[in-house]
Structure 1
Amino acid sequence: MDLDPDLSALGALGGFFVLRTGAPARGAPPTLAQAYASGPPEGGADPLAVRIRKVARTLRAPELRVAASLAHQGLAARLWSVALGCAALYGRLPDLDPRLLRWDPEGSMPDDLWLSDVRPLPVASLDTVVREGHLAPLTAALGARHRISPGLLWGNAGSALAGSVRTLDRWARKYGRADVAERARSLAAALFAHPDLSGTLDPATGRRRSCCLHYRLPAGGLCGDCCFDRPPGRE
């Protein structure tokens, strides 16, 4: 099935999968290319710093490092969901070049994204589009600004990818689309073969081998795939 200009099929999968197309309704938020840059765009605010402060305020994070990890995981989940959802449903995916993808750092969760132009790509480019085009520069940007290890951030990415696969699998079971579930699992298996992602989850249990730091929030507990059995420092 060819990509339609509105990517309307994604709407049935839930908020993490929806991708708006065309011009944003209000103003022109920054592109993700600007967010991954080493500093703020000329004459404007730093989108990545704005997002991290927004997450810190909303979740009452005790330090920006915690907010940065959770902001990263939220954006990674959106990017994987959009790309994998398109690949599984359409058999194609849109070009998600960071220069084409606008992002509202002050928006709510899931992250608000707009794609200015829908340009179809083959599913074989999924790794290049998301891991290489987005997650690698995002990991580098956060590593340069905050004390966050690459292993933790790639763990976030692996966890987010697995979550997207689970959502697609549940949807496919509900609507009798075994082809969608199979395509999503096959594509994810190829993505997890890359060294950046290959060691992020325990293959036997699906639990991650690093922690996103969610437990450090005032009301934070452990995520369903956390590497810990109880929050560190608590009996």
Structure 2
Amino acid sequence: MNALRQAPVSSVAAALKDVADFGGFFSIELGGPDDGWHRIEDAYADGVADLIAATAGRYDTRELRIGASIVQLGHAARLWSPVLACAVVHGIVPDLRGLHRADDGPALRLPAAPTGWHAPEPPHLTGLLYEVVVDRQLDALAAGLRVKVAPRLLAGNAASALAEAARAVLAARGDLREPLAGLVDDLLRTGRLAGTGKVLGPDLSFRRRSCCLYYRVPAGVKCEDCSLAE
């Protein structure tokens, strides 16, 4: 990251605040009191056990791996959404180091003044986004899980969350279809995301090659992008 150009704190904050209007998964709270929050590293080290147990209870299942899958999928969406939107819309890549998680749920917060970089040109942008989201966050979450979940399922969740984030950005900024589609395509060929699925059309619909297991909960269904869907 030494060759990257640091972006002004004001620009990173403005980008994050702007894309928060795209939807709930795009929101990262900035600053404020520390009460009610804890370091994301501590949540990862604990295997996000509190969210997994709460999620399994909410969906009335005893299979904690289903709760773990749903939690990881949701967390991936909360990471990809603001990062992807800031990169494509504002040319800013926020640095998520120092991230906090709410004590009572999955909401995220950057407690200090947000830092980040001016988005580099492809293919360097792809590598930076992968590092910010997968290497630094999702890999740490996976390493801390106390529930056995197949690595390819978790990678498929990460890819599905990326595609869903891209569709939400496209809905807000249809004029950015070309750079958005190109970036998503490059990311889906990178690292653990490679081979997890493919984009099907100009609307960035996606078909994954794994299943998040949601269909196994009572009243659950197969997701639209599921490998098991007809």
Q: Structure 1: which amino acid aligns with 2:170?
A: D
Q: 1:220 to 1:47 in 2, by over 3 A?
A: same
Instruction: State the alpha-carbon separation in 2 of the partners of residues 6 and 158 from structure 1.
Output: 23
After TM superposition, the structure 1 = structure 2 runs for residues 34-45 of structure 1, keeping only pairs within 5 Å, are 34-37=42-45
Verify the 8 A CA contact 2:188 2:197 in the aligned structure 1.
no
Alignment partner of 1:136 is 2:139: yes
Verify the 8 A CA contact 2:15 2:92 in the aligned structure 1.
no
Instruction: State the alpha-carbon separation in 1 of the partners of residues 17 and 167 from structure 2.
Output: 21
Alignment partner of 1:29 is 2:34: no
After TM superposition, the structure 1 = structure 2 runs for residues 1-235 of structure 1, keeping only pairs within 5 Å, are 2-4=11-13, 7-24=16-33, 27-37=35-45, 46=46, 48-97=48-97, 100-107=98-105, 111-116=106-111, 117-123=113-119, 124=125, 125-142=128-145, 145-173=146-174, 178-179=175-176, 181-204=177-200, 206-229=206-229
Q: Structure 2: which amino acid aligns with 1:93?
A: V
Q: CA deviation at 1:86?
A: 1.1
User: 3-state SS of the aligned residue for 2:207?
Assistant: coil
Q: CA deviation at 1:35?
A: 1.7
Q: CA deviation at 1:105?
A: 4.9
User: 3-state SS of the aligned residue for 1:114?
Assistant: strand
Q: CA deviation at 1:28?
A: 4.1
Q: Structure 1: which amino acid aligns with 2:183?
A: L
User: 3-state SS of the aligned residue for 2:117?
Assistant: strand
TM-score by length of 1: 0.82
Runs of 4+ in 1 over 6 A off after TM superposition: none
Q: CA deviation at 1:60?
A: 1.5
TM-score by length of 2: 0.83
Verify the 8 A CA contact 2:29 2:110 in the aligned structure 1.
yes
Q: CA deviation at 1:5?
A: 5.2
Q: Percent identity?
A: 37
Q: 1:5 to 1:195 in 2, by over 3 A?
A: closer
Q: Deviations along 1:16-36, whole A, 9 cap, x unmatched?
A: 111110024x71421111122
Which structure 1 segments of 5+ residues have no match? 38-45, 231-235
Task: Give the number of equivalent residue pairs.
Answer: 209
User: 3-state SS of the aligned residue for 1:12?
Assistant: helix
Q: Structure 2: which amino acid aligns with 1:215?
A: Y
Instruction: State the alpha-carbon separation in 1 of the partners of residues 14 and 171 from structure 2.
Output: 26
Instruction: State the alpha-carbon separation in 1 of the partners of residues 15 and 178 from structure 2.
Output: 25
Instruction: State the alpha-carbon separation in 2 of the partners of residues 106 and 28 from structure 1.
Output: 8
Q: CA deviation at 1:183?
A: 3.0
